[in-house]
Amino acid sequence: MSKKSFLLFIIGVVVLLISCNEVTDYEISDSLEAEPLTIEEIALQCYEKDFLLDSIITSRSSNFSDTDNAYFDELVIQKDGEKLLFSDLSEAQKKKFVKKYKENYVSQLVEKLKDDEQFCNMVKTENAAFYDARNSTTTRSGKIDAEKFWKSYQQNLEKMTEDNGSTSILNRSKSGPEDIIQNDLNNPKSVALLSNGVYGIGKIFVCTDSISSNSSSYIGHASLMRYNSWRETWNTNGYARATITSSPKRKSAQWNDFEFKISDENGNILDTLKGDAKIDGVQYEPIGYWAGTSKAAANNVTVIDVQHVRYDWLIVSDDDEDYEECIVTVTPTSATEHVQAFNNANKYYGRPYPDFITIPFINKNKTGKIYCSQLCYLAWKEVSKECDLSPNGWFVTPGNLISSTKSKVITKYKNK
């Protein structure tokens, strides 16, 4: 090689290296300053994230695939009255099924995101924390270290929710749980909603406040309603026994063994209620009191009910041509099933709460230790697989309960 050719070669290498750096810098900058995502794009991110989370935790391929048998086999598929697994379908049927499932998932989630700004912010935060962690822990070979990923994800989530926490409901109470309960449950708007048929056994409260979370693995908290009506709870058992959930043992002394006195309009004491603050794990909680941290309570609350959803293969006629189509079948749950859901949750009373760091790695169907959203998931899955609020994936978050195609948003409200 001549001297001139060698110089040209060196210059070419330098230019190539500079151009590569410029591309990398541009891509990073572009990702940070990208245009805000549309509601549809956020919903599609959630759809993709479900697959990716499952593959990371179970160490399967991290490449997104619509035809993941291990994912779709958890769904209820029926043909001619017989239940099928996704893996039993032909390739043509799989394509039709995936298309139908994706359309149903995304369209329902879009409507829920449009109607609830707080839930939308919650989803965007979790998505951003997830994708940033995934991108930063993926090697050149495309592999992801699950433990490094979750450490990064949790750090991202904590950082992204830190600002919210500084101005959140942590500052709503200076004296302890009695003050929070008194404020929340004497809120006329909240009481009017709950006493007007919203409260009912088996329905689910989901708090979408970042600071209310028990775990750094997700945002929010969830609790299952315990009684048939608000009035029954009000007069007989009080606020402290209105829901069942799972929370870690309280760390702050002011939240342990608290007593809350219920008075009538003349100041006469009707009842003295005690909290379950010393219990670790599945326990009863007052409405409005979500002690994920030692001082937190619910501010933004979404109330959901559960419905049966299955995918039926039917013969459809169109222009004198018969063809097979996958149809989404939705039916309401019964009063008996709502009672059964609570009973399913109640049998786990006293079951311990897992260590925060282990939550993503606990199979949501294992019941040795139970977290809040997992309890709600188990309660309804044990009623029917058609009521499975999180048929796919390894663990279940409060956000998953709202975004599920099996859930129906009844209402949402804010406490003071």
34-60 pLDDT, tens digit each: 568 899 999 999 998 888 887 777 766
What pLDDT does 156 receive? 86
Q: In which residue are the tokens 């699950």 written? A: 146
Name the percent of the chain lying above pLDDT 70: 67
- 88 DSSP assignment: G
Identity of the highest mean pLDDT range in 89-93, 136-140, 202-206, 234-238 = 202-206
Three-state DSSP state, 271: strand
What pLDDT does 292 receive? 38
What pLDDT does 76 receive? 92
Q: Give the N- to C-terminal CA distance of the chain in Å, as an integer.
A: 79
What pLDDT does 368 receive? 92
301-358 confidence digits (pLDDT tens)? 899 999 999 999 988 777 777 778 899 999 999 999 999 999 999 999 989 998 877 7
What pLDDT does 341 receive? 97
Torsion sign over Cα 382, 399, 145, 101: positive
Reported as a pLDDT band with limits 50, 70 and 90, residue 300 is confident
- pLDDT beyond 70 at 105: yes
Reported as a pLDDT band with limits 50, 70 and 90, residue 265 is low
Strands (E), 208-347: 221-225, 243-247, 259-263, 269-274, 281-285, 300-318, 321-332
Residue 262 vs residue 354, higher pLDDT: 354
- pLDDT beyond 70 at 415: no
